[in-house]
Amino acid sequence: AFTCALLNSQPMGFYAPAQLVRDARDRGVEVRPISVNHSLWDCTLEPRADGSLALRLGFRQIKGLRQEDAGWIAAARGNGYPDVESLWRRAGIAPDTLERLAEADAFAALGLTRRDALWAAKALKAPAPLPLFGPDGEGGREPAVSLPQMTLGQEVIEDYLSLRLSLRAHPVELLRPRLPESLPHDRLGAATGRVTVTGLVITRQRPGTASGVIFLTLEDETGSANIVVWKKVYETFRKAVIAGRLIRVTGRLQRDGPVTHLLAEHVEDLSPLLATLGRPVMIDSNDGRADETKRPVGGSLRPAARHPREQAKKLFPSRDFH
């Protein structure tokens, strides 16, 4: 319930939606995806068969979706929508809104893949339903097509582009085979000496009383790691520390009670690796808020390329310098 309330109050707080959902799932909470047949504007709680509650993500998580359209979708669905066209006709929403729903994989409960749903949405060009030309009028149905399946990496990238989070996999989990030297974060508690870790930067802090020391929090598929970057190390690796979204840090472990810190000695920006999960694509600039990214973008859905570091910066925004 607390996670649900935090998600419904975004933008706010120290952590972005991806970290809130990740923490809830790590603690045994079932998080259910956005669905045109189940979701409301806000995230909601749904009963489970065992008597506990599951968290259903709401339409508010979809970048660019209007609350008014979400209201019409919920009001008109009755016993559920059987396909994309039925939602268009009954809810009366514009085709571009259907595309946003498809890009968010909100039609999965109908048995449609992201690409199948987007294909169906793009076939509806009129701004409002025209019954005369529907399947019940004088129109006909297009022949079925077989679209190539998206890779897991492409699906994860599309999730982050549309929702700012993914329930499928963590990006570092997909890149793990290419990071043999990096220790998973959940093993830091038992490690000693000098180690290397790699993760998404989820927070950067530079307290005014810390004499130039920067604190980073990295996240991989197993948990988080606390990184301490001393002033001299920061001056050497400033660009990676400031701009990196996926970074590799080598340093020595230090423990203070139950808390483990990694004192950075070498910092490397691996953000371009994130672009290999899907096709490099154009990502518009945002308004500077840490938990916002401008859509739309996707491995298979949007054109044109920009530098992979810029892509990573918008795909995986961090909370910078609180």
pLDDT band at 57 (very low <50, low <70, confident <90, very high): very high
| d(C-alpha 213, C-alpha 64), whole Å | 37
Q: What pLDDT is attached to residue 227?
A: 96
> In the predicted model, is pLDDT for residue 289 greater than 50?
no
> In the predicted model, is pLDDT for residue 212 greater than 60?
yes
**Residue ranges per structural domain of the chain:** 1-129+151-163, 171-274
Q: Which whole number is the average pLDDT over 300-309?
A: 51
pLDDT band at 322 (very low <50, low <70, confident <90, very high): low
pLDDT band at 11 (very low <50, low <70, confident <90, very high): confident
How does pLDDT run across 93-137, given as a tens digit for each residue? 999 999 999 999 999 999 999 999 999 998 886 555 555 555 555
| d(C-alpha 216, C-alpha 227), whole Å | 5
Q: Which whole number is the average pLDDT over 50-67?
A: 96
CATH 2.40.50.140 fits 171-274, yes or no: yes
How does pLDDT run across 14-47, given as a tens digit for each residue? 788 999 999 999 999 999 999 999 999 999 999 9
Cβ neighbors of 142 (< 8 A, separation 6 or more) are 123
How does pLDDT run across 248-265, given as a tens digit for each residue? 999 999 998 888 999 999
* Percent of the chain predicted with pLDDT > 90: 65
Q: What pLDDT is attached to residue 93?
A: 92
C-alpha 84, offset from chain centre: 23
202 against 290, higher pLDDT: 202
User: How distant, in Å, are the alpha carbons of 188, 254, 260, 298 from that of 194?
Assistant: 11, 10, 13, 38
pLDDT band at 149 (very low <50, low <70, confident <90, very high): confident
The answer to whether 225 and 185 have CB atoms below 8 angstroms apart is yes
> In the predicted model, is pLDDT for residue 303 greater than 90?
no
The answer to whether 61 and 7 have CB atoms below 8 angstroms apart is yes
pLDDT band at 304 (very low <50, low <70, confident <90, very high): very low
Q: Which whole number is the average pLDDT over 284-310?
A: 42
The amino acid occupying position 12 is M
Average pLDDT, the chain: 84
Q: What pLDDT is attached to residue 208?
A: 76
Level-2 CATH architecture, domain 1-129+151-163: Orthogonal Bundle (1.10)
Question: 82 preceded by cis ω (within 30°)?
Answer: no
Q: What pLDDT is attached to residue 308?
A: 58
- Output b/e per residue, 179-217; b: 16+ Cβ within 10 A: beebbbbeebeeeeeebbbbbbbbbbeeeeeeeeebbbb
Dig out the tokens for 272 from the structure.
């371009």
